[in-house]
Structure 1
Amino acid sequence: MSAETSRPGQAIDPVLSVQNLTTSFLVEGKWKQVVRDISFDVAPGETVAIVGESGSGKSVTSLSIMRLLPQDTSRVEGKVILNGRDLIALPEDKMRQVRGNDVSMIFQEPMTSLNPLFTIGDQISEALLCHNDMSFADARAETIRLLEKVRIPSAASRFDEYPHRFSGGMRQRVMIAMALASRPKLLIADEPTTALDVTIQGQILDLIKMLQEEQGTSVLFITHDMGVVAEIADRTVVMFRGDQVETGATADIFHRGKHHYTRALLSAVPVLGSMKQHDHPLRFPVVDTSTGEAVQPAETPDTVMRDKPVLEVRNLVKRFDIPTGWLGRIGGRVYAVENVSFDLFAGETLSLVGESGCGKSTTGRAIMRLIEPTSGAVTIDGKDILAMNRHEMRQMRKSVQMIFQDPFASLNPRMTVGQAIAEPYLEHKMGTAKQAREVVADLLAKVGLTPDMASRYPHEFSGGQRQRICIARALALEPKVIVADESVSALDVSVKAQVINLMLDLQQSLNLAFLFISHDMAVVERVSHRVAVMYLGEIVEIGPRAAVFNNPQHDYTKRLMAAVPVPDPDRRHEKRPTATEELKSPIRAPDYNAPQRQFREVSSGHLVAV
């Protein structure tokens, strides 16, 4: 029974009661409080969301509840009452029995939570055998039932497969199955959909809601995505810099939020369909993190120079051979990018959208020649990139820079961030070492960091901060074209707003062209002049932003838009049809010939594949 369906005046004992939770970390010999006096309850069958940005303390709160913080460098005070027992006071051996049995946790990145050396069936069975008295055969049967329950297609045949054989969305389903194995009273979900494509995110949210209805599980949902909060939470706890600033029914928080930080968070949330009255990209309201207030935006003027494209892509093809057998015979090919063509003008943002595996990132890398295209033509300012030698490519990369999806992998852990940002500036002899230091300080300030951070190393920053460092590095050479590959997907809502506003400001002042690769349809609608939708390596729809979003024609485009969470708690009980299929495989036989697609013009510049 949920808190919403209980009768007036009926007393319900909460499944979880957190009382004055305070967590401290040992920093340079002193205890520093990072979470202060947090109190909330989770009723049977209820979903409570803890929302806040990186550094707010929401994940530390969940780890404190589970007692997963290192004992020698952390201290947890207060009470965490689960089913009448104070978890803080339990000895460790008793706590191990609680974890996975009475309370389970789904983490943000399933690939780091799953052991790559064991099959997914063995890992779920282990959770069952650890907490239940059953045979291996019974554990296998129950595991298959759980996989079917979380909508894994052909569950029995996938029992013996390893994690790397599953997509990100399917791996997250496996994590949910493992968390639900012992039918816990409470499920803690820590950013379980942040790294997922929008359609997969919608499926996971629907799955959690369905399982909650069937099993009556209470859910504590940790997120920074206000659209997800509106879709799944009965009540919401808002955290800011370790403090609980507001708590209440989700509808009240959204419609009548009292704290200025709550209102600022909501104002910075991109809402699909909010651009119908705007002709050009629109800056986001920016949250002032010192006061929590939001600064309202202004529409960017049209600075697109449509006389001649700065980037032209014609019939771009990239295929990856799949060798089989001892002799390396080609057994198949991944048709990653197939006959992709588009133009990009100075001052314009063209967004490539689609799910993981659609070929959008491969397109960006092929344009940069970070991977060699199979065929096609790519020209920058009329110069053929594919015909350039190594020296010419080095010079070309002053004009085209890329912001990569994984910031940690693209930063050298042995270089300070100041050295990383200055390196391309100095390598291309654009100024002296002193000038480079001034450029680094200016760029760090522009992306929301402080100049003194230049002396720190990448591991000392959060994921969002590392992404801002990568953006600063890409801007160091003052390029004409920036390929932004999921450059804001991992950022909190206000940081995302700041970074995108910075990109729009630079675009306006420098006539920068952006190839914006993303799966976030609400952000794409906000920043784009034109949009190209990719599916299985091909562009299936392309056109002006308003035309594509207001009048989508291709079935896949409609599916992407329908899956976007809407930050409106009044629509929380609406259900989407729960799809279970994964994105179709782009692997084809070696002799496969891709058909030449025909396009129908819906309106001026708006084309859809037929």
Structure 2
Amino acid sequence: MARIEFISPVLDVNPKYWESKPVKQPVLSVSNLMCSFRADGLWSSVVQGVSFDIGARETVAVVGESGSGKSVTALSIMRLNSPRGTKIEGSVKLGGKELLSLSDAEMRQIRGNDIAMIFQEPMTSLNPVLTIGFQIAESLILHRGLSRAQAENETIRLLEKVRIPAAKSRFHEYPHRFSGGMRQRVMIAMALACKPKLLIADEPTTALDVTIQAQILELIKELQQEDGMSVLFITHDMGVVAEIADRTVVMYKGQAVETASTDDIFNRPNHPYTRSLLSAVPKLGSMAGRSRPMRFPVVDRSTGEADVPVEVPDTVKVSERPVLEVAGLTKRFEVKSGLFSTVKGCVHAVENVSFSIKAGETLALVGESGCGKSTTGRSVMRLVEPSGGLVLLDGVDVLKLSQNELRHQRNHMQMIFQDPYASLNPRMNIGTAIAEPLLINGKGGQSEVADKVAELLQKVGLSPDMAKRFPHEFSGGQRQRICIARALALEPKLIVADEAVSALDVSVKSQVVNLMLDLQARMGLAYLFISHDMAVVERVSHRVAVMYLGEIVEAGSREAIFQNPQHPYTRRLLSAVPIADPARRLQKRTVSNDEIKSPFRPADYVQPVRQYREVTPGHTVMISG
């Protein structure tokens, strides 16, 4: 029998396999895909010659940093880019049908029916003035020709399928009534409405907490097995890639630099950029046996070689008195209703929270969205007014200060927010943005301030000649460095970092974390590090406090929390962290689908007295209430 050769086999296996087995046509075949954008009359190439196939029931991950072209690749497959300013070349075939040659009307029939897409931020993808039931039913009526009654019944079935509790009663609710994880489930239900052959998931878990992320990943895997669909999963999180992908395409500067099975990508990477991505991935448990925070390895992208990471030196003499002391901090938001705005109840956002931070120390505050950790940080800064408690900064009670006194005291405490672009004025160059707090507080004349701005930019690894640029001219990591430089301008003793690295790519995240650790060692900064990224928290923190429903349920040294967690919620957080090991991909994880409970309480609610047990010196856990 003559040997038959095939051009594009779906799987990388032994060639002898194909002598006796017929090759199945890929669900999606992308060949030499090129995408260019027009700006100022010139075409700029964004995606350059990308090729890959996706087989039936297969998950292919496209991974890379922001700007690598992975999302543009997905939008080009769906033909969702603006036709006026975009040029797409190459071939995209769905079941053998060429998509790039279809008319707009034909392509509209493909979208939703044969290919569905879910995006990173579900709230911007859902219409806030329409109920979620109406939005899902609309696609069923449009694409499948169902009657309104049939569409409603099918919508309820889909909501139940994506594990939304009490689906029938929530049919008529609006998107703002759902948590982030539940909104993403609604988007998945909408995508599955017409039983597509291919699901494109563009960063669907990036902004979600680790527990919600674990739920969504497990849900996608289960639905894939039930419905037999293929998945194109776009992400920059290598832990997620290991969790879900059969094969992986690594993109860098618009090109697919490496394509292989996920096992080969993790265990036998060939391209230097792939090795650099893997080197920057924080691994849970890697800090076992170490007493101090440790820098991330610095990777040479040209070779993929990483240096040997070192522990951050203890260069600051820790004072006896903490820089920050918080005792019994409470913040409740009143909920009013009726004609006379009667207090119906309160949202107990922060309830009797106590902790302290010394100079040169990092306390990490961890928990899911809605647990109260960001409100705690804002209450410490008095960006929201606490309902009660004590906040001492170098012995000064911040909560008793007048507005003028508070303005002066804020010279000693600064805050870094999650989204650096939203934190910077887009019409103000970054030199002016950094200089503004210096000028407002009378810290020198124009020439002195200009010198200080140049010094601060150098301190955060940027060039002084960048001072005249505007925020949109920088990458996400560079913008976060600018925000750090601005926070350092007044030489604070305390910095509250509220999810400061959560939205950054893995390599940029490692750069920013290294910068923060170096600055802490040199300047003796105290950090309140607010995060839900447990792997990063393990790397940077000295002590950890775990929050749930506004209360600290467990607190202790970093080693105690990560090596000997006692509270069920702490163990749940740690078990949800994706592990960058593709060998674990086929293992089914037990994931709770419960939403975090509501912190709303009736107006006459009396908070129970909590009791804590000391497991080891400094390690306490809530035992009853």
- Of 179, 202, 205, 2:214 maps to 202
Aligned to 1:120: 132
Aligned to 2:255: 243
2:246 maps to amino acid: D
d(CA) in 2 for partners of 1:295, 1:510: 24
% identical aligned pairs: 66
Q: Does 1:103 align with 2:115?
A: yes
Cα deviation for residue 441 of structure 1 reads 3.9
- Of 378, 381, 387, 1:374 maps to 387
Q: Does 1:585 align with 2:585?
A: no
Q: Does 1:434 align with 2:480?
A: no
Assess, with a 3 A threshold, how the Cα gap between structure 1 residues 556 and 429 changes in structure 2: closer, same or farther. same
Cα deviation for residue 428 of structure 1 reads 1.7
d(CA) in 2 for partners of 1:77, 1:250: 28
- Of 30, 33, 48, 2:42 maps to 30
Cα deviation for residue 412 of structure 1 reads 2.3
Note the alpha carbon deviations across 1:537-573, whole angstroms, 9 max, x for none.
0000000000111000000000000000000000001
Aligned to 1:301: 313
d(CA) in 1 for partners of 2:99, 2:287: 48
Other structure's SS at 2:323 match: strand
1:110 maps to amino acid: P
Aligned to 1:94: 106
Q: How does 1:519-598 map to 2 (within 5 A)?
A: 519-598=532-611
Note the alpha carbon deviations across 1:557-608, whole angstroms, 9 max, x for none.
0000000000000000112223221100000011111112111000010000
Assess, with a 3 A threshold, how the Cα gap between structure 1 residues 453 and 25 changes in structure 2: closer, same or farther. farther
Residues 447 and 498 in structure 1, CA contact (< 8 A), matched pair in contact too: no
- Of 394, 416, 420, 2:407 maps to 394
Q: Once structures 1 and 2 are overlaid, which stretch shifts more, 455-464 or 232-241?
A: 455-464
2:511 maps to amino acid: Q
Assess, with a 3 A threshold, how the Cα gap between structure 1 residues 370 and 599 changes in structure 2: closer, same or farther. same
1:470 maps to amino acid: C
Residues 116 and 162 in structure 1, CA contact (< 8 A), matched pair in contact too: yes
- Of 436, 446, 455, 2:468 maps to 455
2:467 maps to amino acid: A
Aligned to 1:75: 87
Cα deviation for residue 444 of structure 1 reads 4.0
d(CA) in 2 for partners of 1:448, 1:58: 27
- Of 472, 482, 494, 1:481 maps to 494
Q: Does 1:217 align with 2:238?
A: no
Assess, with a 3 A threshold, how the Cα gap between structure 1 residues 451 and 34 changes in structure 2: closer, same or farther. farther
Cα deviation for residue 319 of structure 1 reads 0.4
Residues 377 and 386 in structure 1, CA contact (< 8 A), matched pair in contact too: yes
Cα deviation for residue 452 of structure 1 reads 4.5
Q: How does 1:245-394 map to 2 (within 5 A)?
A: 245-288=257-300, 293-302=305-314, 303=316, 305=318, 307-394=320-407
Unpaired runs of 5+ residues, structure 2, are: 1-9
- Of 417, 425, 434, 2:430 maps to 417
Residues 116 and 164 in structure 1, CA contact (< 8 A), matched pair in contact too: yes
- Of 1, 13, 20, 2:32 maps to 20
Residues 419 and 503 in structure 2, CA contact (< 8 A), matched pair in contact too: no
1:221 maps to amino acid: F
Aligned to 2:3: none
Cα deviation for residue 456 of structure 1 reads 3.5
Other structure's SS at 2:482 match: helix
d(CA) in 1 for partners of 2:451, 2:103: 54
Cα deviation for residue 292 of structure 1 reads 5.1
d(CA) in 1 for partners of 2:72, 2:577: 28
1:55 maps to amino acid: G
2:445 maps to amino acid: T
Residues 231 and 565 in structure 1, CA contact (< 8 A), matched pair in contact too: yes
Aligned to 2:96: 84
Q: Does 1:407 align with 2:420?
A: yes
Q: Once structures 1 and 2 are overlaid, which stretch shifts more, 422-431 or 509-518?
A: 422-431
Cα deviation for residue 448 of structure 1 reads 5.3
Residues 313 and 379 in structure 1, CA contact (< 8 A), matched pair in contact too: yes
d(CA) in 2 for partners of 1:186, 1:464: 33
Q: How does 1:478-517 map to 2 (within 5 A)?
A: 478-517=491-530
Residues 543 and 606 in structure 1, CA contact (< 8 A), matched pair in contact too: yes
d(CA) in 2 for partners of 1:504, 1:236: 33
Aligned to 1:177: 189
Cα deviation for residue 290 of structure 1 reads 6.3
Cα deviation for residue 138 of structure 1 reads 0.6
Q: Once structures 1 and 2 are overlaid, which stretch shifts more, 356-365 or 438-447?
A: 438-447
Q: Does 1:66 align with 2:81?
A: no
Aligned residue-pair number: 609
What TM-score do the two structures reach when normalised by structure 2? 0.94
d(CA) in 1 for partners of 2:477, 2:119: 18
d(CA) in 1 for partners of 2:433, 2:140: 47
Other structure's SS at 1:309 match: coil
Residues 272 and 301 in structure 2, CA contact (< 8 A), matched pair in contact too: no
Q: Does 1:469 align with 2:446?
A: no
d(CA) in 1 for partners of 2:317, 2:530: 19
Assess, with a 3 A threshold, how the Cα gap between structure 1 residues 383 and 212 changes in structure 2: closer, same or farther. same
Residues 224 and 493 in structure 1, CA contact (< 8 A), matched pair in contact too: yes
Cα deviation for residue 506 of structure 1 reads 0.5
CA RMSD of aligned residues (A): 1.8
- Of 143, 148, 155, 1:136 maps to 148
Assess, with a 3 A threshold, how the Cα gap between structure 1 residues 436 and 35 changes in structure 2: closer, same or farther. farther
Cα deviation for residue 71 of structure 1 reads 1.1
Cα deviation for residue 262 of structure 1 reads 0.7
d(CA) in 2 for partners of 1:265, 1:59: 18
d(CA) in 1 for partners of 2:353, 2:199: 44
d(CA) in 1 for partners of 2:568, 2:242: 26
